[in-house]
Chains A and B, each alone.
Chain A
Amino acid sequence: GNSVTQMEGPVTLSEEAFLTINCTYTATGYPSLFWYVQYPGEGLQLLLKATKADDKGSNKGFEATYRKETTSFHLEKGSVQVSDSAVYFCALRKRDGNNRLAFGKGNQVVVIP
């Protein structure tokens, strides 16, 4: 079935460090891929998305490229800020006619000043 795997565990890094969060997926066909961010005490916000292979989604300095050959959609940011501290969820849209999302487990990112 369709599923998303995110790397285990929280990510703690210093301000201005480079951030990578790994996301791999299993799906039939060509799902749309998303990164959502959840700041403390808030709902999910769409961070970026890609709908086909080799698409690069980008927003607020974050980027992710839809890699069909490695079934990956890793999130990167070149220089993180304290305000980037949040939980990041990778998700794919199942093309089942119901627009369901399959979420990864999420990664807590903590940026230390």
Chain B
Amino acid sequence: DTEVTQTPKHLVMGMTNKKSLKCEQHMGHRAMYWYKQKAKKPPELMFVYSYEKLSINESVPSRFSPECPNSSLLNLHLHALQPEDSALYLCASSQVQGNTDTQYFGPGTRLTVL
């Protein structure tokens, strides 16, 4: 099973709202990732968690706040977003390192900020 699940599938929010995106995997992976993808572009890395600790923050604005409550779950808390933050948000997971470190992606949450 190489499934990564994400909820919700679609999200519309106003600039003053607070919302959260959720990601879950049961492959025993200890690395989890958040990506942002704009239309017709490749995914851009936002955050990496390794063994439930934040290891990479790609200079993401503080209105995005990641959280990794356990090895299977990854959240992205959203607050005071801007319309330009509208995008597809993808979660991925992998082994931490080694030859079996392929990243597996979820289906994404399509976010619209009004």
- Given the contacts A43-B105, A46-B104, A98 and B42 also touching, CB distance less than 8 Å: no
In contact, A42 and B107 (Cβ under 8 angstroms): yes
B45 contacts A100, C-beta separation under 8 Å: yes
Q: Which residue of B lies closest to A89 (CB)?
A: B42
Residue of A nearest to B104 (CB): A46
**Set of chain B residues within 8 Å of A98, measured between Cβ atoms:** 48, 50, 55-56
Q: Does B31 reach chain A (CB closer than 8 Å)?
A: yes
Query: Does B17 have its Cβ within 8 Å of any Cβ on chain A?
Result: no
Would A51 and B97 be within 8 Å (CB), given that A43-B90, A45-B105, A46-B104 are in contact? no
- CB within 8 Å for A100 and B99 given contacts A36-B105, A44-B105: no
> Are A44 and B43 in touch, CB under 8 angstroms?
yes
Please state if A43 and B48 are interface contacts (CB–CB under 8 Å): no
CB distance from A41 to the nearest CB of B (A): 8
Instruction: Indicate whether A29 reaches chain B with its CB closer than 8 angstroms.
Output: no
Kindly state the separation between the CA atoms of A66 and B102 in the bound complex, as whole angstroms. 16
Categorize the interface residue count of chain B: 20 to 34
A97 to B48, CA, bound (A): 12
Closest residue on chain B to residue A95 by CB atoms: B97
User: Nearest Cβ distance between residue A54 and chain B, in whole angstroms?
Assistant: 15
Q: Smallest distance from the beta carbon of B39 to chain A beta carbons, Å?
A: 10
What are 13 A-to-B residue pairs whose CB atoms are below 8 Å? A34-B102, A43-B106, A44-B92, A45-B105, A46-B2, A87-B40, A93-B101, A98-B50, A98-B55, A101-B45, A103-B43, A106-B41, A108-B40
Q: Which residues does A use to contact B, with CB under 8 Å?
A: 32, 34, 36, 42-46, 49, 51, 87, 89, 93, 97-101, 103-106, 108
Q: A99-B103, A101-B45, A103-B42 are in contact. List 12 more A-B contacts (CB 8 A).
A: A43-B106, A43-B107, A43-B108, A44-B90, A46-B104, A51-B99, A98-B56, A99-B48, A99-B96, A105-B42, A106-B41, A108-B40
- Chain B positions within 8 Å of A, measured between CB atoms, are 2, 6, 31, 40-43, 45, 48, 50, 55-56, 88, 90, 92, 94, 96-97, 99, 101-108
